[in-house]
Homo-oligomer: A and B are copies of this chain.
Amino acid sequence: MMSLESVPPKYAQLVQTLQRRIEAGDYPPGTLLPSENQLIQEFSVSRPTVVAALRVLREQGWIESQQGKGRFVRGRPAMASVEQKRPGQAYLTTPENDTTGDVVEVGAVTAPNRVGVLLDVSPKSKVFVRRRLIVRDAEPTELVSLWLPLDLSGGTDLTSGEPLRQGLREHLQARKGVRFDHIVEQITARMPSADEARQLGMPKNIPLLAVFGAVRDASGRPLAVVEVLLPANRHELEDAYPIT
């Protein structure tokens, strides 16, 4: 008889144990990790299990291995401590209830130049747009626009001015059977229009960070475009990536 609650596989347990020891200082950075044979003896597991655990640690950046010498401790990967604040991504998964804001525009318009290119539709054709003004701490902070091809906006709850209870990702995935895969992001800066400056409550003489996120499926077909407008005096974008 097996226990009903699922236990994590052995190699995953080993990963956790070694991570804890590195963080606790038992294996200081720069030193050699115990060899495979030593780990096999200490934990009473087979070599493939040890190797699987060490492979995970290497791919996550905790250690680096050198054939013939051993595995060197690098320490907790600093990458992991930098939270990924990709703008635009949050608006695809978070239900609109979680952020306060008003829908300021909903309907079909002729696609702006850049949006048309990102959605891969013919120039001057109509697309669906849904624009929201995000409010934080009782102050307007971001202007978020969602563009969709017309064939993806039909039959959804997006055409109403009500906030969505579901995340946008689940909504489209359930209604239309499309699967979001990745985002191609373009970042530019420009001066705000008079309308934008008024809506965002910002001076007209400071620039705007404009983030365009083209949402695609695994084959690269564009599904949607998210535009996020951030007043540059109150927001900046942060990201982290390894050096290749």
Contacts and interface: CB of A to CB of B under 8 A. Distances in A.
Interface of A: 29, 48, 61, 74-75, 77-79, 81-82, 86, 89, 92, 169, 180-191, 205-209, 215-216, 218-220, 232, 236-244
A223 to B, nearest CB: 11
Given A189-B208, A207-B191, A216 B184 contact: no
Given A79-B182, A183-B242, 8 more contacts: A29-B219, A74-B218, A75-B218, A77-B218, A182-B241, A188-B236, A189-B232, A215-B243
Contact of A209 (B29, B182, B188): B188
A208 B187 CA distance: 12
Contacts of A238: 184-187
B209 A241 contact: no
26 contacts: A48-B48, A74-B218, A74-B219, A78-B181, A78-B182, A78-B216, A81-B220, A89-B243, A92-B243, A180-B243, A181-B243, A183-B242, A183-B243, A184-B239, A184-B240, A186-B237, A187-B239, A188-B209, A188-B232, A188-B237, A189-B189, A189-B208, A189-B232, A190-B206, A191-B205, A191-B206
Task: State the copy count for this chain.
Answer: 2
Contact of A240 (B82, B185, B239): B185
B185 A29 contact: no
Q: Top 3 nearest A-B pairs by Cβ distance?
A: A207-B207, A78-B220, A189-B189
